[in-house]
Amino acid sequence: MTTLVTLQDPRSAAAEAFRTLRTNIMFAGLEKPIHTLIVTSPAPEDGKSVTLANLAVTMAQAGHSTVLVDADLRRPMQHTLWNIQNEAGLTSMLLDDAMLENPPLKSVGVENLAVLTSGPLPPNPADLISAKKMETAIDALKSKAEYVLFDAPPVLAVTDTALLASKLDGVLLVMKAGKTRRDYAQQAKVALERIHVRIVGVALTNAPQDGSMNSYYGAKK
């Protein structure tokens, strides 16, 4: 799949699937609004970062101001996906009070969308995320956009994600068809429910595509 399919092949069935995901998330927030969302997976290589990038694009394309934050302070990917520099980002905000007032957001050429990269990787990601200043940073980002979407490490790999999820409105779990183990998915669900985190849904990547849909969306095989 093209990495940023929502930009590079917007009429494809895959791009439409991301728009459907956007709509489902918005409906999930009708009774209890979702302004901050963490996107993660049970284990590595499930496609969480690419899923989040495309979801962010669809949010922005729908006219919603959106900030995409790379909070994976161990293996950040968003700066690579967007081909932007990572000299300053989330960690810079947490260490520099001036950046709390003026976050180092980067334009990526998509109207209504800005990206906050991870910034320099810290030696103690969990301590940084659990710090009180993280809540201040989240509030600062919420003041900049209608939706703030966070890329976070796999749930079962480190404690960072649970610590961050407890500060946000909800979690979207990403699983990869044919790869994500059923027991890992269950363990991730239990781990999040244990800290009373709201799981808004699950996105399945790498699922077989129904060829009959291609002609409807004008997509090429």
pLDDT for 61-77, tens place per residue?
999 999 999 999 999 99
Task: Confirm if 169 and 35 have CB atoms less than 8 A apart.
Answer: yes
Task: Confirm if 173 and 199 have CB atoms less than 8 A apart.
Answer: yes
> pTM of the full predicted structure?
0.91
Read off the pLDDT of each residue in 133-156 and give the average, rounded to a whole number. Answer: 95
* Domains along the sequence of the chain with CATH: 35-209 (3.40.50.300)
Instruction: Give the neighbor-by-neighbor strand order of the sheet with 147-151.
Output: 106-107, 113-116, 66-70, 147-151, 36-40, 170-176, 199-205
Task: Among 1-5, 48-52, 84-88, name the one with the lowest average pLDDT.
Answer: 1-5
pLDDT for 91-131, tens place per residue?
999 999 999 989 999 999 999 999 999 999 999 999 999 99
The mean pLDDT value of the chain amounts to 90
